[in-house]
Amino acid sequence: MPSFVQELRSAVTGRAAVLVIGTLVLQLAFIASYVGAFHSPRPKDVALGVVAPRQIGGQLVQRLDGLPGDPLDPRTVDGGEPEAAAKIRNRDLDAALVVDPRGTTDTLLVAGGAGASLAQATEAVLTRAEAADGRTVRVKDVAPAAAGDARGLTSFYLVVGWCVGGYLCAAILAISAGARPANPHRAVIRLGALALYAAAAGLLGTVIAGPVLDALPGGILGLWGLGTLVVFAVGATTLALQGLAGIVGIGLAIAIVVVLGNPSAGGAYPYPLLPPFWNAIGPALPPGAGTWSARSIAYFHGNGLTAPLLVLSAWAVAGVAVTMACATLRRLRPPAPAASSAAERPRPPRP
């Protein structure tokens, strides 16, 4: 009868043990990333415009800039409330405080479409700061979220769905026909199939979030194009990682997109509410770039799109380039010599 150790080795191979350990590491990283990003949201350097008479504007900016914990990054805005509102809609500011020198109630301009949690956190900070001077604050939303978009989260969840589809499509291609394409022609076919899938996923996701559920405004063409780019960028990145690391590349893609990308995307908590690490990496990853872009299309007339679209395009181009390079190198690599069969091996001479 085989021993327990032999049975164990047969049941759990060394490769399987390594993959299980890798899964555990990925799971713990998932927990650490999400809890680390969301456990204690605090506003940090919220871009705040200050509209006030010149004689008090400079002092007010200095005082707000010196609040404990640096929750605000204030700067004066000329041109009154209309100019401050325009800067918010252009995504140059997160909020603006319009001071009324003839009364004791000031106006806080916010953008609910950028995330309700950011607007609420900014209101809480300024309410406390104004109360110290015996003043009050009334809130005016200059870019409100749609009635069906609870807390401005639809953009985030739509992009998360697109990202999931991207790496799952690439993973299925790997599982069905091998993680590494055998030659450049097959790599092109996989990328072509991914592009078709991305176009379909982008359109259907937009239709569900928009016309079907009425959860997100904005033109269908703009969101469709964004969704296609997000899905293709994530899928191409997954194909590239599979070309470099085989089936392990799927886990690496999940680490980038899910473990690091989702909590830093600015969805549940926009960037100024995230800890420094997640605040820094979020705009450079597909979920963050996609979420910012979806909100810009839906609520800010497409303003502030250049940088995130360049980020998504860079992921897509890099994914295609690495995928093709891996397939080309695999094609050029000489095949390993086949092992001799038992029939072809020379037999030792008989005594």
What is the per-residue pLDDT across 178-218, written as a single tens digit (0 to 9) for each? 666 657 888 899 999 999 999 999 999 999 999 999 999 98
- Supply angle C-alpha 318, 250, 252, rounded to 5: 70
Look at the chain and count its residues. 351
Tally the C-alpha atoms within 13 A of residue 308's C-alpha that lie toward its C-beta.
27
- pLDDT number for residue 341: 42
- pLDDT number for residue 340: 44
Alpha carbon of 78 to those of 49, 54, 148, 329: distances in Å? 9, 9, 35, 58
Using a pLDDT cut of 90, give the percent of the chain over it: 77
CA atoms of 83 and 25, how far apart (whole Å):
49
CA atoms of 274 and 42, how far apart (whole Å):
7
Mean pLDDT (whole number) for 94-115: 95
